[in-house]
Chain A
C-alpha cells in the first residue's frame, strides 16, 4: 500500500521514493487507518498541532469527519477583537507589537486553526511587511485573509488589490493614468498569480494600466477614483478590451498556468515540497472545476491518499510560527508569552515582517545553526518557566506539562514517563536509542560527566527530571518536522 504510514517496521516512518506517485488515486479519499499519527499529521498541517488530548479526540473520528471539523467548524470561535484597542493601535510605540501578538494569540487559542493557518499561508504568499505598512493596515489585511482565505481566489485577489495595506506596500495607490506604477501589476504576475515565464513585459504594463485608479481616502479606506483610472483598451495575455481590475483577474484565473501555479503552492504548503507534475495537474483540475474555490481544493488535499502517504509524513520543516505555536498548544499554555515575537524573530520568522515581497523562503531555509539554537532555547526557557522561579516568579500555566499529572497517569517509572513523552509529543516517531537516552537522563545515568542531581528517578527529583525530558523531547530533530 503506497499511501499508508508504515508502522510495522521502524517507527521512523519509511518514505515513498519520489516518482512512484499513483496519479489516478493520489487525490482519491484516503480510507486507510486514521490513528494518532494521521490525526496529529492533519492537525499539524491544517492547524498548529495540539495537545495529546486534541490528537486523541481527532483520532476517534473518520478521516472525512476529522477534516470537516477543521474545514467547516460549527462551534463559534472565541470572542477575539478585530483590532487592538484604539489607544494602542494608534500608539506608534505599542501598535506593532500589539498587532503581532494579537495574531499569535488567535493562532494559539482559536478553535478554527485552519482559518488562521490559511491566513498565515496567504500572509506568506501576499507577503506584506509592517516596516512600510502601518500596523492598523496590517491588522486589516490579516482580517481579510481570515475572512476570505478559504473563499474563491478571484474574490481574494480582488480584495487584496483593494486592500490599503497592499496599496501602500506595492505602491498601487500611486498608480494612475497619468503616471502608471507597475510595482503591483508585476508582483501579481510574478509572485501572486502566474509565476515567472508565464507573461511578458507588455502584460505587466497593460495590466498596470488596468489596476489604475485605486487610492486610499482620508479615512484610510480604499477608494476608486475614476479620473485616475485608465479606461482605454488594453491587450493582456492575448485578449483586448477596456479592462479594469476584475477583468484582469478573470483572465488570470482562466489560465492553466495560473491554476498550476496556485495549487503548487498549496501542495508545497500542505503536502510536500516538490509535488510531482501529475499531482499538480490533477489538483489544478480540482481547483478549476470548483470555480477556484480554495476550501474545496484544500479539502480535497486534506482528505486525499497523497496527504496521508509516507512521503508526506514528517516531510516539511516546521516554520518558526508552527514550531512555537505548536509547542504552546501541546503544553496547554493559554497565553502568548510576552517575548514571543522577539523569539520568533530570532528563529527567522517575525510575524507581519517577511524579509521581502517574495515572503519567507521556508522549507530547509528555516533551519540554520542560529535559528535552531533559538528554537532550542525557546523550548528550554518555556519549559523551565512552567515551574515557579527560584525567586518566587509565578509559573506559566501549562497543564500538559504538569509532572504530577503525568506521574498520576503512568506511575513513578522512568521508562513509562519516557514512553508517554515520545508518544504524546512526537507520536513515537523515534528510534529505540532515543527512548533509552531519555530513560538514562531521567535516571541520571546517561552522560558520564558531573551530575547536578545524581539520584535515580524518584519522588525527590521527578518534577525537574520530567521537565528536562519534556524539553529534550520537544527539541528532537524529528519535532522540527511537520
Chain B
C-alpha cells in the first residue's frame, strides 16, 4: 500500500553519487506528475480549507450594522455603522477584514450567510468533529475530505502526488482522516524530513538501510519498509519540488500567513497539492472579544489578500478556491465580560477567482431567535456538496451520505 514509484525512482538516481539534491530535483521534475488543473474545462479545482478554531463570532465578522437589535444586544462590543466596511445598506465587514474586503471588491468572495445544522452542538470538541466529519448525528471515523479522497483514489490506486492532500500543522485534522489515502501533516518545510542532526553519515546509512530493507514474510514489514523509504526521501522530494516556486507576494509575519505562503508553494510547484488544510485558532472569545477577534480577522484578511496576489502572479488565482469554517458561531447577546459565549449559525467565506462573489442567503434574524441563538438557514453540508460537485468535480452523494441542495457561488 501507499507505494509511490517516483520516490523509488528518485532514490535510485540520487544514490549513484554526486549532488543528491540536484539529482532529486531533476528526477522529481521528470517523474512527478504536473498539476492537472491547467486544462480548460477541467472541473477539478484546488481546495484550501481554513479552520477558524474556537468558534468565530459571526455577528462581529459580517456585521448587521443597520439593525438596532445588534447594538442593543451588544452595547460593549458592537461595531458602529461608520466603522464597518459596508457590503450593502444593512451589513458590512469587520474593519479588520480590509484585506478580504479588497478581494470582495474584486468579485472573489462569496459570503454564505447563516450556516449551521439542526440541533447544534456547543461543545468545541464535538462541534468540530461534526463539521469535519459532516455528521451531526453520529460520530464518523473518517473526515469529509478523507472520504472524498478514499473514493477518488480507491484502494490500490495511487494519488498523483505524495502531497495530493496535506495538512499544514502538526496534527492531522479529522476532516482529512482517510481510510487508505495518506495525508501528510507538514508543520513546516524544514521539519518535514529525516532529521539525523549533524552526522551526515547517519542519514546516508539510514537511506541505505531503508532502500535495501527486505520485505521478509511478515505481512506488515514490506509496507513499513516502503513507507520508511517514502518518509526518508519525502522531505527531500518535497523540498526539491517546491524549490523552483518563489512566492510573489509579501506575506504578513504571522504563523497563519506563513502557512498560506507554504500552501501556495505546495499548490503551484510540482508537489501539485489539490487539497490543503490550514488553521488559525483562538476565536473562543469569552472575554475581551474585540481586541482578540479583530487581530485574528486581520491575520485572515491580510493573509488571504497576499495569498491571492501570489496565486495571481503565478496565474493560479482562478484555480484555487478557499473556504473557511468554524465549529460554531456565538450567542447574539454579549456576556458581562465584553465577550460572547458558544452559539450556533455563522457566515462562512468562499474565496477565489473562480468563485461568483456576492452574498448568499439572508443575514439571520435578530428577532426570530432560538433561545437567544441565531437560526441557521443554510446547512453546512450544502456548502460541502457544492464544493465537491462543482469544484472538485465529483458526486457528493456517496461522500456526504445524502443529497443537499447546491449553492450558486460556483
Nearest opposing residue in chain B for A16, CB measure = B217
Interface residues of A in 444-482 (CB under 8 A from B): 444, 446-453, 464, 468, 471-472, 475-478, 480-481
* A8 in the interface (beta carbon within 8 A): no
Determine if A399 is an interface residue (Cβ-Cβ < 8 Å): no
CB contact under 8 A between A361 and B141, given known A317-B220, A452-B201 = yes
Q: Are A15 and B218 in contact (CB under 8 A)?
A: yes
CB <8 Å contact, B221 and A477: yes
CB pair B234 A448 closer than 8 Å: no
Q: Would A433 and B219 be within 8 Å (CB), given that A368-B2, A451-B200, A451-B201 are in contact?
A: no
CB–CB B193/A373 < 8 A:
yes
Instruction: Give residues of chain B (224-259) contacting chain A, Cβ–Cβ below 8 Å.
Output: 224-225, 227-228, 230-232, 234-235
| CB-based contact A372/B231 at 8 Å | yes
Instruction: Give the CA-CA distance A449 to B208 in the complex, in Å.
Output: 12
Q: Which residue of B lies closest to A356 (CB)?
A: B139
- In A344-359, which residues have CB < 8 Å from any B CB? 345-346, 348, 355-358
Please tell me which one of the listed residues A12, A369, A444, A475 contacts residue B214 in the complex, with CB atoms under 8 A apart: A12
CA distance A431 to B221 in the complex (A): 13
Point out the residue from B20, B139, B218, B221 that lies within 8 Å of A357, measured CB to CB: B139
Of B27-35, B124-132, B394-402, the one with at least 4 CB within 8 A of chain A = B124-132
Do A464 and B199 form a contact, CB below 8 Å, given A356-B141, A373-B193, A481-B220?
yes
Inter-chain CA distance A401–B216, complex, in Å, is 28
Interface positions of B from 115 to 168, Cβ below 8 Å from A? 123-126, 129, 139-141, 162
* Contact call A369/B204, Cβ cutoff below 8 A: no
Give the A-binding residues of B (Cβ under 8 A). 1-2, 17, 20, 123-126, 129, 139-141, 162, 170-172, 174, 177, 182-186, 192-202, 204-210, 212-214, 216-221, 223-225, 227-228, 230-232, 234-235
The segment from A32-40, A156-164, A299-307, A375-383 that touches chain B is A375-383
A255–B184 Cα distance when bound, in Å, is: 42
Residues of B within 8 A of A292 (CB): none
Within the complex, the shortest CB–CB distance from A453 to chain B, in Å, comes to: 7
**A380-B197, A472-B205, A477-B213 in contact; A449/B20 too (CB < 8 A)?**
yes
Given contact pairs A131-B124, A345-B170, A437-B212, A384 touches B141 in the complex (Cβ within 8 A): no
Q: A364-B223, A367-B224, A368-B184 are in contact. Are A437 and B231 (CB under 8 A)?
A: no
**Judging by beta carbons under 8 Å apart, are B230 and A384 in contact?**
no
A273 CB contacts on chain B under 8 angstroms = 219
Instruction: Please list the 8 inter-chain residue pairs (A to B) with the smallest Cβ-Cβ separation, ordered nearest first.
Output: A447-B204, A131-B125, A441-B205, A369-B231, A372-B231, A15-B217, A468-B202, A12-B216
- Tell me the bound Cα distance from A471 to B205 in angstroms: 11
Q: How far is the CA of A417 from the CA of B197 in the complex (A)?
A: 22
Distance (whole angstroms) from the CB of B98 to the closest CB of chain A: 34
A345 vs B201: C-alpha distance in the bound complex, in angstroms?
A: 29
* A363 and B220 alpha carbons, distance in the complex (Å): 9
Output the least CB separation between A70 and chain B (Å).
24
Asked if A380 contacts B202 (CB within 8 A), the reply is yes
Q: List 8 A-B contacts (CB under 8 A).
A: A12-B217, A14-B217, A346-B171, A373-B235, A376-B232, A380-B195, A434-B212, A472-B206
Closest chain B residue to A433, Cβ basis: B212
Interface bracket on A:
35 or more
* Chain B residue with the shortest CB-CB distance to A357: B139
A129 within 8 A of B: yes
B195 touches A369 (CB 8 A): no
Q: Which residues of A contact B20 (CB under 8 A)?
A: 449
Contacts of A193 in B (CB 8 A): none
* Cross-chain contact A472 with B209 (CB below 8 angstroms): yes
**For the complex, is A132 an interface residue (Cβ under 8 Å from B)?**
yes
Knowing A132-B125, A376-B231, A380-B196, the reply to whether A364 touches B1 (Cβ < 8 A) is yes
The answer for the CA separation of A401 and B217 in the assembled complex, in Å, is 31
* Chain A residues near B (Cβ < 8 Å): 12-15, 129, 131-132, 273, 314-317, 342, 345-346, 348, 355-358, 361, 363-364, 367-370, 372-373, 376-377, 380-381, 384, 431, 433-434, 437-438, 440-441, 444, 446-453, 464, 468, 471-472, 475-478, 480-481
Of A370, A444, A480, the contact of B185 (CB 8 Å cutoff)? A370
Is B177 touching A355 in the complex (CB atoms < 8 A)?
yes
State whether B129 touches A356 (Cβ < 8 A): yes
A437 lies within 8 A of B200 (CB): no
In the bound complex, residues from chain B placing their C-beta under 8 Å from that of A132 are 123, 125-126
The answer to whether A446 and B204 touch (CB under 8 A), given A129-B125, A346-B170, A373-B194, is yes
B194 and A376 form a contact (CB under 8 A): yes
Given A368-B2, A373-B194, A451-B201, 16 more pairs with CB closer than 8 A:
A129-B125, A131-B124, A314-B221, A317-B220, A369-B2, A376-B194, A376-B232, A437-B208, A437-B212, A446-B204, A448-B17, A449-B17, A468-B205, A472-B209, A477-B210, A477-B213
In the complex with contacts A441-B202, A446-B204, A477-B221, A370-B172 CB distance below 8 A: yes
User: Which residues on the B side are within 8 Å of A380 (C-beta)?
Assistant: 194-197, 202
Residues of B within 8 A of A452 (CB): 198-201
Query: A369 to B200, Cβ gap below 8 A?
Result: no
Residue of B nearest to A342 (CB): B170
Closest Cβ–Cβ distance, residue A40 to chain B (whole Å): 16
Which chain B residue shows the least CB distance to A445? Answer: B201
Q: Which residue of B lies closest to A358 (CB)?
A: B141
By beta carbon, the residue of chain B nearest A380 is B196
Chain A residues, CB < 8 A from B123: 132
Given the complex, which residues of B lie within 8 Å of A370, measured CB to CB? 172, 184-186, 192, 231
Docked Cα-Cα span, A137 to B407, in Å, equals 44
Do residues B195 and A377 form an inter-chain contact, with CB atoms below 8 A?
Answer: yes
Q: Which residues of B contact A315 (CB under 8 A)?
A: 218-220
Closest CB of chain A to B32's CB: distance in Å? 15
Contacts of B129 in A (CB 8 A): 356
Are the CB atoms of B205 and A437 closer together than 8 Å? yes
